[in-house]
Amino acid sequence: MTEAGFESIRVDLIPKDMTYPSREDFAARIRTTWLPWMVRLPEGERTSFINALTDEYLVMYPVGTDRLIHIRMVRLEAEAKKRT
């Protein structure tokens, strides 16, 4: 940041628990947010890949007692000001 002329005010890693009410909602999230990677697969294989990925995730991390699918994430948040 300093090389670009900014002074750091705050840099935080913020834990986040993303939840999805259904397998279909979770798969839709993968379909849209993973688009840069999905386009590398042949179009006819994308749905099968997303289904397999969703199934494998749910084997490793089953639906919670609250009946939601949870994905733990970390968001990087930075605040800076331009040096004068």
What is the pTM for the complete model shown?
Answer: 0.75
Written as one letter, the residue type at 70 is: H
Query: For residues 6 and 78, is the Cβ–Cβ distance under 8 A?
Result: no
Q: What does the pLDDT look like over 3-15, one tens digit per residue?
A: 888 999 999 999 9
Instruction: Give CA–CA dist 54/50, Å, rounded.
Output: 6
Residue 10's beta-bridge partner residues? 79
Burial of residue 26, with CB atoms counted within 10 A of its CB: 0-12 exposed, 13-18 middle, 19 or more buried: buried
Q: What does the pLDDT look like over 56-74, one tens digit per residue?
A: 999 999 999 999 999 999 9
Please determine, for residue 46, whether its predicted confidence score (pLDDT) is greater than 70: yes
